[in-house]
Amino acid sequence: MPRKAKVAKDLKYYPKWKVRKKNRCPICGRPRGFIRYFNMCRLCFRERALRGELPGVRKSSW
């Protein structure tokens, strides 16, 4: 878990250019492995997908 101060800093920080914005998972605060389409990190995405909380997402098998 990131420090609360680091998460708060990234949330209130308004970058000079849009490309400087850092995406963070709103659930756990993780800055890496962010999936924009679902607006969460890969770990939170996987947890919710396996529990069936994300509509249209299912585990692949072939």
Could you tell me the pLDDT band of residue 22, with boundaries at 50, 70 and 90?
confident
Give the separation between CA 51 and CA 62, rounded to whole angstroms. Answer: 20
Number of domains in the chain: 1
Q: Domain containing 46: what range?
A: 1-6+26-55
Show binding-site residues for Zn(2+). Answer: 25, 28, 41, 44
Q: Is residue 16 part of a domain?
A: no
Q: Say if residue 24's pLDDT is above 90.
A: no
Q: 5-17 pLDDT, tens per residue?
A: 777 776 666 777 7
Q: Is residue 32 part of a domain?
A: yes
Q: Is residue 15 part of a domain?
A: no
Could you tell me the pLDDT band of residue 20, with boundaries at 50, 70 and 90?
confident
Could you tell me the pTM of the whole model? 0.70
Give the separation between CA 44 and CA 25, rounded to whole angstroms. Answer: 8
Show binding-site residues. Answer: 25, 28, 41, 44
| Three-class SS of the chain | CCCHHHHHHHHHCCCCCHHHCCCCCCCCCCCCCEECCCCEEHHHHHHHHHHCCCCCCCCCCC
**How large a percentage of the chain has pLDDT more than 70?**
89
